[in-house]
Amino acid sequence: MNTERKGKKRRGVEQVQARWGWYFVIPAIVFFSIFSFYPIINAFTLSFFKKNMISPIPPRFIGLENYIYVLQSSDFWNSVRATLTFTLGTFIPLVIASLVIALLITLQGRNFRLWQLLYYSPAVLSSAVAALIWMLIFTPTGIANQFVNTLRNTSGMDMRWLSSGEMVQISTMIVYFWKYIGYFTVLYITGITKIPAVIYEAATIDGASRSQAFFKITLPLLKPTTALVSIVAMLQCLKTFSTQFLFTQSGAPKAPINVITLNIYNTALKDYNVGRASVMSILLFVTMLILTIIQLKVSRSDDVTY
Amino acid sequence: MMSKAISPGASKLQFSLGIDIIIRILLLLFAVIILVPLVFMVTASFMPSSEITHMPYRWIPSRIAWNNFYRALAGNDGSFVYIRNILNSLFVSVTVAFTTVILSSITGYSLAKFNFKGKHIVFMGIMMTMMIPFETIMVPMYMVALKLGMQNSYQGLIVPFMMNAFGVFLMRQYLQTFPKDIMDAARIDGCSEPKIFRSIVFVNSGPAIASLAILTFRQQWDNLMWPLMIAQDKKFKTIPTYIVSFAEEKLSDEGAMMAAALIASIPVIIMFLTLSKYFVGGSSVYSSGKE
């Protein structure tokens, strides 16, 4: 064997290896073509066609008709409003609260792991389970009402968490906030621990006080992490589905929490209107693509901070 | 990554003991608030339904209602299909984790260690798919799956998630530092390329593989939307879809609902308690992976 190998030209070995390199990526090329590229191209083309999900009639080209219909329908704009309300109402509190908790955990400097695990634990549950637990907490006799009544020193007041249009929006935000607070806290802690000790040492030598070090070093150096966490949180909120789905299936009013993914799902699988569902998919895709590109830019600038 | 290296920077910032204690009390207070719903789920699953809706809520069950678990498992029609659904969830999540680990590492290995024409394009192409959220392609993907005859089948639940771009990215990053000398030595000894991958590269990528496997397992365990579309037949439902239909039909049986929720959570809670390093670490991998 050895002598045979030595006899071969170096180039021949490289060619053999290049071929193996190709063999190893073939499964990936096949997989991503079928389950990523074909569907996204298909979503784009189908948005110009009239197509019923279950009828055998082939799709009929109708130009921009789907786009015009969707952009003029109040149902779509209600979904945009619901999604934006949810996203803003969820990701801003999430970012602020996870920053505060991460700072508190690192400032007290002990038992990092234990604190992280405590806060992370809701993220372990599946979204359907999380929504189910909160559905019972939000019932008229549930502990959410009892908690509010204790705080306000009232009795028997019903906040109508799941039945009033305004409250049900807040309820979905609370579920999401609860589930993901630990996740973003962990991201922040990673960002805080990345700040090199040398910077603090230099500041201490220059006579900076602890609070000065905190306000002049820690907070400003967390800007890139904050940008990253914000966009990751925003992207996740735009995709929210499970809580809204479970709540509406169990009788909560649909219109206030009819987020865009829920609308796509219902348009495609209840109304069988593939074309209109595709239009909404493409609009969501473009929105998220822009945010992702911003995210990539932000995380790249992350590297040159220190 | 985080627990061992107690923040070098932040430790310089430590305050006096008094402030430290105040901070810890605050942290404890927040943690209690975060944990209340979990405690509620566990206690309510052991309570008769009348007690769950009792105001004020008593946190300790007066008697243990094992019956809740029976009704949760028996389901609306007494068919015990939930047991099968739990096994479905386990089977699908484990299989997807397994295929993802293998396919992603073989692809990542090729992209990290081989030189061939078009490699850059292949890599960019795979990375681009990370920008396509599942929610935006689920409708055409569903139609692909219908065409392939995958409705109400395990293939339908598994095949569309057999690998993912993030896994490829993670394995490529990890394997880039893998010493090439070892591979070359094996080549000189006449070892075939698939064997080098199988018995040298793959078996030595433990930490990355463990993180990826757990991340993928959890994604599938949590997957609601796709099983909702592809598995209308009760027999092929997974835990999240069972929970949805159970909640719809048994709206007034709070005890059974919480029992079903607790049963659904036990496998991941066990994983979390034993493998917490990979859970918490996995999410930081996600952020640092984007650098």
pLDDT at A9: 55
Asked whether the beta carbons of residue A187 and residue B248 sit closer than 8 angstroms, the reply is no
Q: Does residue B168 lie within any of the structural domains?
A: yes
Specify the residue for token string 């009788």: A251
CB atoms within 10 A of CB A153: 6
Asked whether the beta carbons of residue A5 and residue B6 sit closer than 8 angstroms, the reply is no
Q: Does residue B44 lie within any of the structural domains?
A: no
pLDDT at A304: 44
pLDDT at A153: 86
pLDDT at B77: 78
Amino acid at A117: L
Q: Average pLDDT for residues B225-251, to the nearest whole number?
A: 89
| B196: CATH | 1.10.3720.10
Cβ neighbours of B243 in A, within 8 Å: 126, 128-129, 132, 246
User: Is the four-CA dihedral B271, B273, B278, B282 of positive or negative sign?
Assistant: positive
| pLDDT tens by residue, B84-126 | 999 999 999 999 999 999 999 999 999 988 888 888 999 999 9
Closest-CA distance of chain A to residue B153, Å: 17
The answer to whether B31 faces chain A, any CB pair under 8 Å, is: yes
Superfamily of domain A73-303: MetI-like (1.10.3720.10)
In chain B, what percentage of residues exceed pLDDT 70? 90
Task: Say yes or no to pLDDT of B39 above 60.
Answer: yes
Q: Does residue B211 lie within any of the structural domains?
A: yes
Q: Mutate one of B26, B132, B191, B249 to test the A interface: name it (highest A CB count within 10 A).
A: B132
Closest-CA distance of chain A to residue B136, Å: 5
pLDDT at B4: 39
- Say how many domains are in chain B: 1
Nearest residue on chain A to B11, alpha-carbon basis: A109
Task: Using alpha carbons, select from B2, B1, B282 the residue that is nearest to residue B166.
Answer: B282
Using an 8 Å Cβ cutoff, are B137 and A39 in contact? yes
Closest-CA distance of chain A to residue B96, Å: 14
Closest-CA distance of chain A to residue B172, Å: 12
CA-to-CA dists, residue B43 to A85, B38, B250, angstroms: 34, 9, 19
What DSSP assignment string belongs to A218-245? IHHHTHHHHHHHHHHHHHHHHT--HHHH
Closest-CA distance of chain A to residue B94, Å: 16
Q: Does residue B171 lie within any of the structural domains?
A: yes
B139: nearest CB among A18, A199, A277 = A277
Task: Say yes or no to pLDDT of B163 above 50.
Answer: yes
The average confidence (pLDDT) of chain B is 85
More confident residue, A298 or B259: B259
DSSP state for residue A208 in the 8-state scheme = -
Q: What are residue A61's phi and psi, to 5 degrees?
A: -70, 125
Pairs across A and B, CB distance < 8 A: 343
Q: Does residue B114 lie within any of the structural domains?
A: yes
Q: Is the ipTM of this complex over 0.85?
A: yes
Rounded distance between C-alpha atoms, residue A40 and residue B139, angstroms: 10
CA-to-CA dists, residue B214 to A111, B208, B217, B265, angstroms: 24, 10, 5, 15
Q: Does residue B55 lie within any of the structural domains?
A: no
Closest-CA distance of chain B to residue A75, Å: 18
Asked whether the beta carbons of residue A128 and residue B53 sit closer than 8 angstroms, the reply is no
Asked whether the beta carbons of residue B257 and residue A134 sit closer than 8 angstroms, the reply is no
Find residue A61's DSSP bridge partners.
A49
The answer to whether B59 faces chain A, any CB pair under 8 Å, is: no
B136: nearest CB among A31, A107, A281 = A281
Nearest residue on chain B to A204, alpha-carbon basis: B12
Rounded distance between C-alpha atoms, residue B30 and residue B19, angstroms: 17
Rounded distance between C-alpha atoms, residue A52 and residue A46, angstroms: 11
Helix (H, G, I), strand (E, B) or coil at A273: strand
Using an 8 Å Cβ cutoff, are B17 and A101 in contact? no
Rounded distance between C-alpha atoms, residue A35 and residue A43, angstroms: 12
pLDDT at B10: 52
Q: Which residues constitute the domain of residue B282?
A: 90-239+275-289
Q: Does residue B71 lie within any of the structural domains?
A: no
0.90 exceeded by pTM? no
What are the residue boundaries of the structural domains of chain A, listed by start? Answer: 2-46, 73-303
Nearest residue on chain A to B113, alpha-carbon basis: A21
Q: Does residue B34 lie within any of the structural domains?
A: no
The contacts of residue A216 (CB under 8 Å, 6+ apart) are: A203, A208
Cβ neighbours of B8 in A, within 8 Å: 193, 196-197
Rounded distance between C-alpha atoms, residue B106 and residue B160, angstroms: 18
Q: Which residues of chain A have pLDDT under 70?
A: 1-11, 300-306
More confident residue, B8 or B198: B198
pLDDT at A74: 94
Confidence of residue B7 (pLDDT cuts 50, 70, 90): very low
| H/E stretch holding B140 | helix B134-147
Structural tokens at position B7: 């923040």
Cβ neighbours of A195 in B, within 8 Å: 7, 9-10
What DSSP assignment string belongs to B20-79? HHHHHHHHHHHHHHHHHHHHHHHHHHTS-HHHHT-SSPPSS-SS--THHHHHHHHTTTT-
